[in-house]
Amino acid sequence: MLTKRQLLVLKEIIRSFTESGQPVGSKTLMAELPIHVSSATIRNDMAALEEQGLIKKTHSSSGRVPSTKGYRFYLDNLVEPTAVSANEIAAIQQGFGGHFYKIDEIVAQSARILSNLTSYTAITLGPEVTNLKLTGFRMVPLGNHQVMAILVTSNGSVESQLFTLPPEVDSDGVEKAIRIINDELVGLSLGEVAQKLQTEVPAVLFKYMTSPDGFLDIFGNVLKKAAAERFYVGGRLNLMDYLGDNDVDQLKRLLAMMDSEQGNVNALLGPLHDSHIKVKLGSELTPDVLANLSLLTANYSVGEHGTGMIALIGPTQMPYSKMIGLLDAFREELAKRLTDYYSHFDQ
């Protein structure tokens, strides 16, 4: 068991190391601690903390640095989220100032705001789309065999893509096909639609079109795009500030992962969880691109419109109390904005 003073020492080591990035020695601690004991006493406490594996030395006669285990202990037991400052609230409000035409714009903007506020890297995900329903499908001919396929889903998000129609697709058939889709498939979840696209739909279409393959490709393609979980990254380049020194290779791989459009965000952030804010660091992070970094994930809920996630990537020596407070405030603000958006939209 640890004494109250030892807890204080650990807390101060983490605070000081977070601020300066330098190992913390007993004399420094003596000056900073609220209680007044000699450096020798503190050294004894530090020895105890080191025995528990909570802090460690960088070399045999150096000051101490928090270990991963120490951070874990700190996060589980000691950290007290800081309230967000008025400045930060103002910055958030201002960031959300403009007008948004799509949910995704709000989510993308969130990543920007969050990264600006923290100087770290933010990743945001829109509300989950599992039981999203198809509400409409259009194809607009634009001349020269070009058509634009537009797919609308129940949360108001719109996916469109340009296609060149294969010559074997006859426009008469296409019109009928679209009518069928809107009659038969609207109201179903995207998952169900995708399934029927494999089974029933081709059979039906064969009655009206000579070769429905090209058409099915187009529809399937747009459907896939609409169902894809998209994520937005803000402050990619900030990575260089807290990772730049040594591991250029890691930096490159991480940036590449963030840039890849269809990159699986789950591999990076892990699954959606129910706790409000979750911190993972050091060896707890499975994807090795995040080694030596810290990952904060937070969920947010938009009522019946689903649950989403925001995440913050930064250095292990992060001011956790501040970041946790900020992330908590932000997730509520984002939820409010999205609820707002949906309510205008549902009216």
Partner DNA sequence: CTTAGCACTCAAACGGTATCAGTGCTAAAA
Partner DNA sequence: TTTTAGCACTGATACCGTTTGAGTGCTAAG
Using CB under 7 A as the criterion, which residues of the chain lie in contact with DNA when the complex forms? Answer: 5, 22-28, 36-41, 43-44, 46-47, 50, 57, 59-64
Q: How far is the CB of 67 from DNA (least distance, A)?
A: 14
Q: Is 102 a binder of its own copies (CB under 8 A)?
A: yes
Angstrom CA distances, 159 to 38, 135, 156, 265, stand at: 67, 12, 10, 20
**Cβ closest to DNA, residue 31 vs residue 86:** 31
Residues from 112 through 151 that contact its own copies (CB under 8 A):
135-136, 138, 140, 142-144, 146, 148, 150
- In angstroms, the CA 89 to CA 319 distance is 18
Size of the site for its own copies (CB under 8 A): 31
- Spatial distance between the Cα atoms of 96 and 334, rounded to a whole number of angstroms: 9
Q: Is 315 in the site for its own copies (CB under 8 A)?
A: no
44 binds, among its own copies, DNA, none (CB under 5 to 8 A by kind): DNA
Q: State which of residues 74, 163, 215, 300 lies at the interface with its own copies (CB under 8 A).
A: 163
Residue length of the chain: 347
Q: Residue 336's binding partner, choosing from its own copies, DNA, none, with beta-carbon cut-off 5 to 8 A by kind?
A: none
CA distance 269 to 290: 10
CA dist 237 to 19, 81, 104, 240, 244, Å?
22, 27, 21, 6, 10
Beta bridge partners of 309: 125, 299
Which residue number, 114 or 233, has a Cβ lying nearer to its own copies? Answer: 233
The DSSP-derived string for 110-140 is HHHHHHHHHSSEEEEEPSP-TT-BEEEEEEE
Q: Does 251 contact its own copies by CB under 8 A?
A: yes
Q: At its nearest, how many Å lie between DNA and the CB of residue 282?
A: 22
Distance CA 115, CA 64 (A): 30
User: Residue 117 or residue 277: which is nearer to its own copies going by CB?
Assistant: 117
Using the CB atoms, write b or e for 181-218: b if 16+ within 10 Å: beeebeeebbeebeebbeeebeebbeebbeebebbbeb
CB under 5 to 8 A by kind: which of its own copies, DNA, none does 2 bind? none
Residue 127 interacts with, from DNA, its own copies, none (CB under 5-8 Å by kind): none
Residue of the chain from 95, 156, 191, 319 that contacts its own copies (CB under 8 A): 156
Among residues 281 and 302, whose Cβ is nearest to its own copies?
A: 302
C-alpha to C-alpha distance for 332 and 83, rounded to whole angstroms: 14
CB 58 within 8 A of CB 38: no
The DSSP H or E segment spanning 293 is: strand 293-301
> Binding of its own copies at residue 267 (CB under 8 A)?
no
- Residues of this chain that interact with its own copies (CB under 8 A) are 101-102, 135-136, 138, 140, 142-144, 146, 148, 150, 152, 156, 158, 160-164, 236-237, 240, 244, 248, 251-252, 255-256, 259, 345
